Amino acid sequence: MIMGMSFGRGVLFHDRNVLACAEVKDGVIHMWAEKITLKTIGKLWYRIFFSFPWYYQLFHLLLAGYVLVAIVKPDWAILDPMWVAVYIAGFHFVFPKKMKKFHGAEHKVFSYGGKKSLGALNEIQRANIVNDGCSTNLVVWFFTGFILSVFFLPLEWSVACGVAGLLVGMLGDRYVRKYFGFLYKLSAFFQKYSTTKEPDQLHLETAIRSYMLFEHIREVDRLQNAS
């Protein structure tokens, strides 16, 4: 199963074995691919965290500091630190603009049914920006559980209900789509108008190159295993 992920500088695609990434540095697209190991996962998350604009990083640092202070000195807490967990769960809605454009490019690459190539860039540009398997689905499931309980349960229990909703969406996706289709329509709405933006050519080229590299590496692995 091929999965994608966007961050502030690029797009990556992966399966259980290999990860391919294309990222923009000083206006130039750089590509790399690796077998998935703990080192690769660390490399990935390093890129994700440090690709945010400085003011996002400062805000997140302040949030982390606030949570630590609230745990050590509960009397100093002005706001329940569990609200930070709610913010993290809803981070899709506050992606930086560039990240939303890379996210949109990732979706369009997935949506395009033909061969992914730079020659098909114009067709990919016209592809659907809504992705049926987007993680926004899980965000919607979280907030469904959270909102349905937050008005009559303590905050920590409401967050737990949100996590339970997320697990339902994650583990029961094949079944709940049949009975809760309206939640996926809501997710599609958020994808179109909130969690993605129409990508520019640079974002599309980055996503396409990432996917092409992923396909190349996977094909090389297949040939090596077959020989």
* Euclidean distance between CA atoms 130 and 122, whole angstroms: 17
pLDDT in tens, 46-79: 888 889 999 999 999 999 999 999 999 888 888 8
Q: Is 28 exposed, middle or buried (0-12, 13-18, 19+ CB in 10 A)?
A: exposed
The amino acid present at 213, given as its one-letter code, is L
Cα(169)–Cα(174) distance, integer angstroms: 9
73-96 as b/e: b if 16+ CB within 10 A: eeeeeeeebbebbbeebeebeebe
Report which of residues 208 and 222 the model is more confident about.
Answer: 208
- Close Cβ partners of 46 (under 8 Å, ≥ 6 residues apart): none
Distance CA 104, CA 195 (A): 8
pLDDT (mean) for 6-33: 92
Specify the pTM: 0.91
Measured in degrees and rounded to the nearest 5, phi and psi for residue 115 equal: -70, 125
Q: Provide the residue range defining the domain that includes 137.
A: 3-226
Q: Is 45 left (phi over 0), alpha (psi -120 to 50) or beta?
A: alpha
Whole-number pLDDT of residue 227: 64
Give the chain's domain count.
1
Confidence of residue 41 (pLDDT cuts 50, 70, 90): confident
Going by DSSP bridges, is the β-strand pair 3-7/18-25 parallel, antiparallel, or unpaired?
A: unpaired
Sheet holding 10-14, edge to edge: 3-7, 10-14, 18-25, 28-35
Encode pLDDT of 128-150 as tens digits.
999 999 999 999 999 999 999 99
User: What mean pLDDT, rounded, does the chain reach?
Assistant: 92
CB 12 within 8 A of CB 3: no
11: exposed, middle or buried (Cβ count in 10 Å: 0-12, 13-18, 19+): buried
